[in-house]
Amino acid sequence: MDIVKMLRQTVKRYADKAFIIYGERRMTYLELEETSNKIANALIDLGIKKGDRVSIVLPNMLEYSALYFGIVKSGAIAVPLDYRYKADELVSLYNNSQPRIMISSSPYLETLASSMPRFTTIEKVIDMSGKFPGQYLSYAEIMARFPSTAPQVELNAEDLAHVAYTSGTTGQPKGVMVMHRGLVAESEASADGFKQTDKDVVMLYALPMHHCFAMVVVTMTSIYKGSTIVMSPGLSISAAFDLVAKEKGTIFMGVPSAYVLAVELAEKSSEKYDLSSLRLCGSAGATLPLNIMEKFRKYYGLGIINFWGQTEAMAHVTIQPIDGSGKYGAVGKPLKYWEVKIVDDSGNEMPVNQAGEMIIRGPFMKGYFNNPTATAATLKNGWLYSGDIGRMDEDGYFYIMGRKKELIIVAGQKVYPIDVESVLYTYPKIAEAAVVGVPDGLRGEAVRAVVRLKDGQTCTDREVRTFCREHMADFKVPKEVFFINLMPKTASGKIKKQGLEGDLSAFTGNT
């Protein structure tokens, strides 16, 4: 089955039900169907044919899913990108994906004005803001001109629905080719893992729609079951919690930094939030420190369910039992349709509780778009090599220990950043922490800790290292501790470690 059939099955059952809520605006499932039909018909009128690429470069908005489905219904392949990308990054990504049409908005289009000639494959621009009459085709014009009847474009399960780029590199981009069948299977598996139903109201906080967490785990899964999505405007965690109470949210999804903010909010504010409607809080995208899980339960009376996956696997592959019966610190067991193994560098399966690379088999990507070298390095003998280091215990629960490339070797000893970060998060003065390896002439590599302190706190590197010595082996203790005011984050809210191993003078607040 393709995702358009999946949507239409839901529309038949829940036509007048709210699909998404954004501020005071709401879009029903029928409106999603009809709006996306208009977009598809406009694209076909512009000459888009099956297999062409159409790029979305927008922040979260009510119309995002309609744009995405409109592209897919036209037979084209969507290329959703982070609107924070700079011109050089877009040139690299566009050279790889070669989209014919770009959908964007003000003020982003203004910042790209001088760079537009560099996007050599872009023939037309659709502007969501309507601020460029005569220059670009406006979204309002599409809504007024084109019919809401379904376009007659044949789709099948093996077609590509979109290409998801895993970074904004100016080098060789890695665009994950996502097939319809993978999205449908993952939506079913995800819904099964969450025990999601049409009664659920899913809170989408600080997750960009172009990312697989928001697009697949939240959006596609909700469409599969006929749930309602509530999108939080802005990044205020207190406003997000107010929305939970207002809309009676039942599922709250966020990356670890969302729960870090929630804990900080509870520690500095006496205000109480009504989160009684929530039945599930989910975290993925990075490892959630156990200390944050404990504090979140203490302050809000709610547990957090960890799950693990990656863009190459559509979204998540494992999940903890939602009744809270899972192993503490684990990311759970494989979802329906997925297999996971732990292997060494030669591909041999590792014994129980021994660390190795996590490889997965299931409805994963077709490969990287126009990048056969990267595809061959990742897909081997029917398995996807994730690049994540993990272990499996005697009961089949999986634990994440970090990225393979992030492993630090100190005088021959293996240091997993998560081990050090978990300790740092227990220090009362520290709000966020990231650990990386840096070159060391004597030991090969040394451990560097980069931390953000809680508001109003002061601390020294000696103080942090003394605390670490009391809680970990000597070779794991950070040789360097840097303090910064703002932790760099990726578009999906994960701490961005790239660059933290270099010169940190660009970050204000270093001591």
What pLDDT digit, counting tens, does each position of 316-327 carry? 999 999 999 999
What pLDDT shows up at residue 118? 96
**Exposed, middle or buried: residue 149 (CB in 10 Å: 0-12, 13-18, 19+)?**
exposed
- The model's pLDDT over 99-135, given as tens digits with 9 standing for 90+, comes to 999 999 999 999 999 999 999 999 999 999 999 998 9
In percent, the amount of the chain with pLDDT more than 70 equals 98
- Residue 357's pLDDT band, with cuts at 50, 70 and 90, is very high
Examine the domain organization and report whether 223 and 361 are in the same domain.
Answer: yes
Whether the Cβ atoms of residue 259 and residue 467 lie closer than 8 Å to each other: no
Which residues, at least 6 apart from 433, have a Cβ–Cβ distance to it below 8 Å? Answer: 421, 424, 425, 449, 450, 451, 452
Instruction: Give yes or no for residue 509 having a pLDDT over 50.
Output: no
Please tell me whether residues 52 and 169 are part of one structural domain.
yes
Same domain, 160 and 52: yes
Residues 456 and 317 in one domain: no
Is the pLDDT reported for residue 511 higher than 80? no
**What's the domain range around 346?**
183-403
User: Does the structure show a pLDDT above 90 at 60?
Assistant: yes
pLDDT of 411 > 90? The answer is no
Residue 507 pLDDT more than 70? no
Please tell me whether residues 95 and 138 are part of one structural domain. yes
pLDDT band at 270 (very low <50, low <70, confident <90, very high): confident
User: Does residue 510 fall inside a structural domain?
Assistant: no
Q: What single-letter DSSP state applies at residue 22?
A: E
CA–CA dist 368, 378 (Å, integer) = 9
The mean pLDDT value for 365-372 works out to 96
Residues 367 and 425 in one domain: no
Measured distance CA(143)–CA(128) in Å, rounded: 11
Contact 427, 464 (CB under 8 A): yes
| pLDDT digits 0-9 by tens, 451-478 | 999 999 999 999 999 999 999 888 899 9
CA 455 – CA 134 distance, rounded (Å): 49
Q: Residues 330-355: what's their mean pLDDT?
A: 96
Question: Sorting pLDDT into bands at 50, 70 and 90, what band is 168?
Answer: very low
Evaluate whether residue 132 is within a structural domain. yes
Q: Minimum mean pLDDT among 145-159, 375-389, 404-418: which range?
A: 404-418
Q: Mark 221-231 as b/e (b = at least 16 C-beta within 10 Å).
A: bbbbbbbbbbb
- Whether the predicted pLDDT of 169 surpasses 70: no
Q: What is the DSSP letter of 216?
A: I
User: What is the pLDDT, as a whole number, of residue 378?
Assistant: 96
Is the pLDDT reported for residue 10 higher than 90?
A: yes
Residue 178 lies in a domain: no
Same domain, 190 and 260: yes
Residues 300 and 394 in one domain: yes
- Helices 29-45 and 3-14: crossing angle in degrees, nearest 10, is 140
What are φ and ψ of residue 252, in 5° steps?
-120, 125
Whether 404 shows a pLDDT value over 90: the answer reads no
Residue 390 and residue 414 in one domain: no
Whether residue 163 has pLDDT greater than 90: yes
Quote the CA–CA distance of 85 and 374 in Å, as a whole number. Answer: 22
Check pLDDT > 50 for residue 170: no
Which CATH number does the domain housing residue 258 bear? 3.40.50.12780
**Predicted local confidence at residue 510, as pLDDT:** 42
- Nearest CA to 6 among 202, 199, 229, 185? 185
Our CA angle for 386, 175, 253, nearest 5°, is: 65
| End-of-domain residue from the set 354, 384, 403 | 403
Between residues 397 and 166, the one the model is more confident about: 397
The sign of the CA dihedral 76, 39, 492, 251 is negative
How many helices (H) does the chain have, and how many strands (E)?
15, 26
What confidence tens digit (pLDDT) does each residue in 209-236 have? 999 999 999 999 999 999 999 999 988 9
Say yes or no: 149 and 291 in one domain: no
The reply to whether 440 and 475 lie within a common domain is yes
What distance lies between CA 242 and its chain's CA centroid?
23
**506 domain residue, yes or no:** no
Dist CA 264 CA 324 (whole Å): 24
149 and 162 housed in the same domain: yes
Residue 330's Cβ-count burial label (10 Å; 0-12, 13-18, 19+) is buried
Q: N- to C-terminal Cα distance for the chain? A: 56
Give the model's pLDDT for residue 167.
58
**Average pLDDT for 30-57:** 98
Lowest mean pLDDT among 43-52, 159-168, 390-399: 159-168
Which among 116, 26, 38 is positioned nearest to 74, based on CA atoms? 38
User: Which pLDDT belongs to residue 490?
Assistant: 81
Enumerate residues 6+ apart whose C-beta is below 8 A from 466.
none
Q: What is the mean pLDDT of the chain?
A: 93
